[in-house]
Amino acid sequence: MRHSCFFVAVSFTLLTLSGCRIDSGGDSSSTRNPATNVDLTFSSFDLTLQTNNTLLADLVQAVEPDPNAANSAESQAVADSIREQLALFAGLDYTGDTPPGLLSVRNPLDLIRRVIGENEVANFQEGRQYIVRRIEQGEAGEYNNRTNRVNVRFTDQTALLDGQPEQEYNWPYPIVKWVYTPDSSNRITRILTWTAAGDFPDGSTRPSATLATQFKPAGFSSTGYNDGARTNTEGTLVIPGERELSFTRAYEGLDSDTLIIDGTNVGTEDNTQGGPEFTFAGNTVDCVKIRMDYDTPEVHVFTSLNQAPGSADYCSEKTTPEYQYATRHTGLRP
């Protein structure tokens, strides 16, 4: 089931930059949405450089148990299961270190975030330049490919030449947008969505991904990742097998992550029963909620099995965790 609610609405070689680094021909002071078509081809979608800058890299390290705390064997099993689930949803491959690092990352959210952050696409930079001008003028503004009816698409040349299924080499992004709303939240909201291409069985949920991020106007830039201006994020990753991971991450105030791993609407029969079962820390479950407190630091994990979403015993509704343990101080966030 979907949980996001507060947002309404590289080791890769760039081979071609169709739609990139081009002059829009527009007036730099224009108040109009500057989004244009962006169609990129990469040698691979796998990211193997700067993996510590990917979306879940801090969490991967942060869940490692404190070796001096009690119940270390059970806690280690929980940490290993958290990482196993993150790997399934976000295409993570780990090193053999303790705690493990990331060898490679392959998912559509990290890929487009890397392309934006490394300033690879002139039109994305133009969009952020437009937002910066609107911030300076104190006026609302929006860069939105969907509003302009233009497309954002990435192609993995290696997967294409290897004859892999279309969903492996053709990654379309139906929504890429930044919105500045000075009269309400006074925040910049960036929304990135991906939907799997190709054919899927009738009645199934098409794999998808969404990342919604809010930034403070102070410090927001037309280049780079803007992580220093970020306040919070929400997102979802839906994979084949009617499984979904949703997450909420706070970067100021209470520095924390909350993740829920459960079934899609189809997988839970329209939220009337538990979703697809999986193994977590040696037990069979169909719902896991993970809360990572970076300040303490400590992990709380809530699980359930055969409970309908929304019921008092469903993992997302529980207040007493099945697992709780102190984690190592990683120096991350903050």
pLDDT for 114 equals 98
Residue 115's region, left for phi above 0, alpha for psi from -120 to 50, else beta, is alpha
How far is residue 125's CA from residue 273's CA, in Å, rounded to a whole number? 45
Please check whether residue 27 lies inside any domain of the structure: no
pLDDT for 109 equals 98
In the predicted model, is pLDDT for residue 24 greater than 70? no
Please check whether residue 75 lies inside any domain of the structure: yes
Categorize the per-residue pLDDT at 302 as very low, low, confident or very high, splitting at 50, 70 and 90: very high
pLDDT for 29 equals 47
Question: Mean per-residue pLDDT for 111-139?
Answer: 97
pLDDT for 334 equals 57
In the predicted model, is pLDDT for residue 33 greater than 70? yes
H helix intervals, 68-214: 72-90, 108-117, 122-137, 157-161, 166-169
Please check whether residue 332 lies inside any domain of the structure: no
Give the helix/strand (H/E) hosting 62.
helix 57-62
Lowest-pLDDT choice from 90-99, 198-207, 246-255: 246-255
Total structural domains in the chain? Answer: 1
Q: What does the CA dihedral 267, 235, 58, 226 come to, rounded to 10 degrees?
A: 170
What residue has token string 């303790």?
98
Categorize the per-residue pLDDT at 267 as very low, low, confident or very high, splitting at 50, 70 and 90: very high
Residue 220 DSSP SS3: coil
How far is residue 23's CA from residue 12's CA, in Å, rounded to a whole number? 25
Angle at the Cα of 52 from the Cα atoms of 50 and 53, rounded to 5 degrees: 75
pLDDT for 331 equals 79
Please check whether residue 244 lies inside any domain of the structure: yes
How far is residue 273's CA from residue 304's CA, in Å, rounded to a whole number? 11
Contacts of 271 (CB under 8 A, 6+ apart): 1, 265, 308, 309, 310
How far is residue 103's CA from residue 166's CA, in Å, rounded to a whole number? 25
Residue 34's region, left for phi above 0, alpha for psi from -120 to 50, else beta, is alpha
| Residue 331 burial (10 A CB sphere; 0-12, 13-18, 19+) | exposed
Please check whether residue 98 lies inside any domain of the structure: yes
More confidently predicted of 179 and 15 = 179
Please check whether residue 8 lies inside any domain of the structure: no
In the predicted model, is pLDDT for residue 281 greater than 80? yes
In the predicted model, is pLDDT for residue 27 greater than 80? no
Lowest-pLDDT choice from 20-34, 82-96, 111-125, 219-233: 20-34
Question: Mean per-residue pLDDT for 38-44?
Answer: 98
pLDDT for 9 equals 42
Domain extent at residue 63: 14-22+34-326
Lowest-pLDDT choice from 110-124, 243-257, 300-314: 243-257
Give the helix/strand (H/E) hosting 170.
strand 170-172
Q: End-to-end alpha-carbon separation of the chain, Å?
A: 31
How far is residue 329's CA from residue 290's CA, in Å, rounded to a whole number? 18
Question: Mean per-residue pLDDT for 301-310?
Answer: 98
In the predicted model, is pLDDT for residue 20 greater than 80? no
Cis peptide bond prior to 172, omega within 30° of 0: no
In the predicted model, is pLDDT for residue 299 greater than 50? yes
Categorize the per-residue pLDDT at 255 as very low, low, confident or very high, splitting at 50, 70 and 90: confident
Amino acid at 230: R
Rg of the Cα trace of the chain?
20
In the predicted model, is pLDDT for residue 5 greater than 80? no
Query: Counting every residue, how long is the chain?
Result: 334
Categorize the per-residue pLDDT at 293 as very low, low, confident or very high, splitting at 50, 70 and 90: very high
Mean pLDDT rounded to a whole number for the chain: 91
Question: Mean per-residue pLDDT for 220-246?
Answer: 97
pLDDT for 30 equals 59
Please check whether residue 259 lies inside any domain of the structure: yes
Please check whether residue 331 lies inside any domain of the structure: no
Identify which of 112, 119, 123, 122 has the alpha carbon closest to the alpha carbon of residue 36. 123
